[in-house]
Structure 1
Amino acid sequence: MVASEPALSVVVPMYNEESVLPLLVARLRGVLDALGEPYEVVAVDDGSTDRTSVALLAARRQWPQLRVLRLRRNSGHQPALLAGLMRARGQHVASIDADLQDPPETIVEMLRLAREKNLDIVYGVRADRRADSAFKRWTASVYYRLMRRIAGNDVPAHAGDFRLLSRAAVEALRELPERRPVLRLVVPWLGFPSGEVSYEREGRAAGRTKYPLSRMIALAADSVTSFSAAPLRVATWLGLAGVAICGVLVVLAVVAYFLGATVSGWPSLYVAILFLGAVQLLCLGLLGEYVARIYTAVQARPAYYVAEDTDAAASMVDSLK
């Protein structure tokens, strides 16, 4: 294997991770050096506003396998992860967050399983969620049940973006026309042979979470609207239900008219107007989500722009640019 083709690439998207970076470098380097194989670490700085970029460049002086990919602006977790995957050169490519909640040691298990069983995808799956709050456990359960219903049972439960991909799987991702794919749905959809490695998720090593409730809700919305037209069918069924209810109310209004009780029926009219207005607004909102996606696709803007890649010899062309 030539030096330009490391056995393993590890992609680490990060945004304002200055505080956790020394811990990440020490732990991840120890794990990867012990492999005894050529590797690279692609750290994707997603437009950090703290000293993350400076700290990465300083760490690179002592760690030649560390490659820094700096984006021009904050593009989001999924685009940053995609940028790293598209530029990684390893025969296997692992992705892991910078907060050390997913243990780097598990990457070795993933690589071993992929080689032993000739798998193209190995997911890191959480063994349990006892450390999470009851609300987070419930929302996670709802999310994964919904995703499995939309995208199929190939979507592993309790598996995020901690995974290992073969070069073939990465090249398949490269061929997809989507510019902002939700990788935790698209990767299972590829249909490559896959396996799972369970692990205990740890607490964040340092710093604050970059994935609050608002971003989780946005991820769920993106997951649904980017992978299924089911919400549009929901809008259709709501419209049909509204028509049926209105038909019943019309009958009641006619009966009330002949009984001379039309004035007393105003609550029914009031409720009907509110219901129909809510259904119309909901349907317009759902249509707007899909129209916005069509508009974004027609614009064909890149999901990210790479400002700097410390590997000047990188010959892989980024298909999204």
Structure 2
Amino acid sequence: MESALSRTTTLSVVIPMFNEAAVIPALVARLRPVLDALAVDYEVVAVDDGSRDDTVSALFDRGREWPQLRVLRLRRNSGHQAALTAGLHRAVGQWVVSLDADLQDPPETIAEMLRVAREDGVDVVYGVRADRSTDTMFKRNTARGYYWAMRRLVGVDLPAQAGDFRLLSRDVIEVLRRLPERAPVYRLLVPSLGFPSAEVRYDREARAAGETKYPLRRMMALAWESTANFSAAPLRLATWLGMSSFLLCLALIVFGMVVHVSGATIPGWTSMFVAVLLLSGVQLICLGLLGDYVGRIYATVQNRPAFHIGFDSRDERDEPAGAKPVARGDDRTPSFDSVVAVRG
């Protein structure tokens, strides 16, 4: 069924959502006219990342009037990148656009992205933020620092000011689906694949409604995920710290021998205290860094899924008339109307 749909669906728009009920009316009001004007077969894959507000109910309400709107609901909150992964893996279009729900990245840019991809024959079109004046000074500076650090630590040809607003061809999607990444960071992973790419510049707008889902804590977590997933720099830092402490210990040994030969008397506990503290601190840093990588290896060996799909409205709509529901393990798909009734 999915292969047949992928041959007829030209464009998929994947939108991860977490507690975005307030912005859904504005999102639909701007996105639907843009996609209808393209005159192509399309779908909108709205991925609910375990929202605790009325996001799911609002999506189903809009889905009654917008048949191209497809609701993909995760069983629990799995994070923005995991929700994006679920949407990319389930999208069926020949071209797939990832878009945030807050309307800071204007949906009107999608038409330009699709035109550039077709005319230039590229597989990736990045949405690059030419103007970020609507963001706070802190957000702009931290973003600038993130891209600067990633270019030097990771070595990826990372487009400046390019977030998760991008267009990907079906070839790129299939490669991403085959990668064994458990916690992908797409703003680094996609450029690392080396597909032909282009850029479309736009002015970043203010959030249409609701609150940001990327506070400082999440931004720091993204920076660490980016570094740990694509670079061994922290391990090399541990190695350099170990070598530095070793050289310092050699210097202290030489100093102690010189003092002993000269006959000078010094309190022995001071040097011992400093040496123990220094070595213990370096060892703890190194163990912490190594432990994080060992934890990642452990999680990879377990091979647990990063997300669990609880419901996909397309499965219900594609069910033949009169057919009995197909059991999908413990992932039983409820009827479209019953979910609306429960959530509404």
Deviation at 1:143, TM superposition (A): 1.4
Counterpart of 1:54 in structure 2: which amino acid?
S
Deviation at 1:203, TM superposition (A): 1.0
The one of 101, 114, 122 equivalent to 1:98 is: 101
The one of 134, 139, 142 equivalent to 1:136 is: 139
1:291 aligns with 2:282: no
The one of 134, 154, 157 equivalent to 2:157 is: 154
Distance in structure 1 (CA, Å) of the matches to 2:134 and 2:202: 13
The one of 158, 162, 171 equivalent to 2:174 is: 171
1:261 aligns with 2:268: no
Cross-structure match for 1:228 = 231
Counterpart of 2:265 in structure 1: which amino acid?
A
Distance in structure 2 (CA, Å) of the matches to 1:130 and 1:283: 40
SS of the equivalent of 2:133 reads: coil
Distance in structure 1 (CA, Å) of the matches to 2:88 and 2:5: 18
TM-score where L is the length of structure 1: 0.93
1:282 aligns with 2:300: no
- CA deviation vs aligned residue, 1:179-209 (integer Å, no higher than 9, x gap): 2211111111111100111111111111111
- CA deviation vs aligned residue, 1:131-187 (integer Å, no higher than 9, x gap): 333333332222112222233342111111110000111011111111221111111
Distance in structure 1 (CA, Å) of the matches to 2:169 and 2:90: 14
1:7-86 alignment, distance < 5 Å: 7-86=10-89
Counterpart of 1:211 in structure 2: which amino acid?
Y
Deviation at 1:239, TM superposition (A): 0.3
Distance in structure 2 (CA, Å) of the matches to 1:184 and 1:104: 19
Cross-structure match for 1:207 = 210
- CA deviation vs aligned residue, 1:191-229 (integer Å, no higher than 9, x gap): 110011111111111111111111111111111111122
Cross-structure match for 2:342 = none
Q: Which moved more, 1:209-218 or 1:131-140?
A: 131-140
SS of the equivalent of 1:103 reads: coil
Q: Which moved more, 1:172-181 or 1:289-298?
A: 172-181
Deviation at 1:268, TM superposition (A): 4.7
Distance in structure 2 (CA, Å) of the matches to 1:113 and 1:259: 80
1:251 aligns with 2:254: yes
Contact 1:31 1:104 in 2 (8 A): yes
Distance in structure 2 (CA, Å) of the matches to 1:16 and 1:124: 24
Counterpart of 2:120 in structure 1: which amino acid?
K
Cross-structure match for 1:239 = 242
Deviation at 1:272, TM superposition (A): 3.3
SS of the equivalent of 2:314 reads: coil
Deviation at 1:269, TM superposition (A): 4.3
Contact 2:135 2:206 in 1 (8 A): no
Distance in structure 1 (CA, Å) of the matches to 2:160 and 2:110: 19
- CA deviation vs aligned residue, 1:260-287 (integer Å, no higher than 9, x gap): 2312x75554443332222111111110
Distance in structure 2 (CA, Å) of the matches to 1:250 and 1:131: 58
Contact 1:151 1:189 in 2 (8 A): no
Structure 1, unmatched stretches of 5+, are: 315-320
Q: Which moved more, 1:88-97 or 1:248-257?
A: 248-257
Counterpart of 1:261 in structure 2: which amino acid?
T
Q: Which moved more, 1:207-216 or 1:277-286?
A: 277-286
Change (3 A) 1:153 1:291: closer
1:192 aligns with 2:184: no
Q: Which runs of 4+ in 1 moved over 6 A?
A: none
Distance in structure 2 (CA, Å) of the matches to 1:255 and 1:142: 46
Distance in structure 1 (CA, Å) of the matches to 2:273 and 2:132: 46
Deviation at 1:44, TM superposition (A): 0.1
Of all paired residues, the percent bearing the same amino acid is 62
Distance in structure 2 (CA, Å) of the matches to 1:159 and 1:268: 51
Rg larger for: 2
SS of the equivalent of 1:42 reads: strand
Counterpart of 1:86 in structure 2: which amino acid?
H
Cross-structure match for 1:310 = 313
Deviation at 1:3, TM superposition (A): 5.8
SS of the equivalent of 1:9 reads: strand
- CA deviation vs aligned residue, 1:53-98 (integer Å, no higher than 9, x gap): 1111111001110000000000000010010000101110000100
Q: Over aligned residues, Cα RMSD in angstroms?
A: 1.9
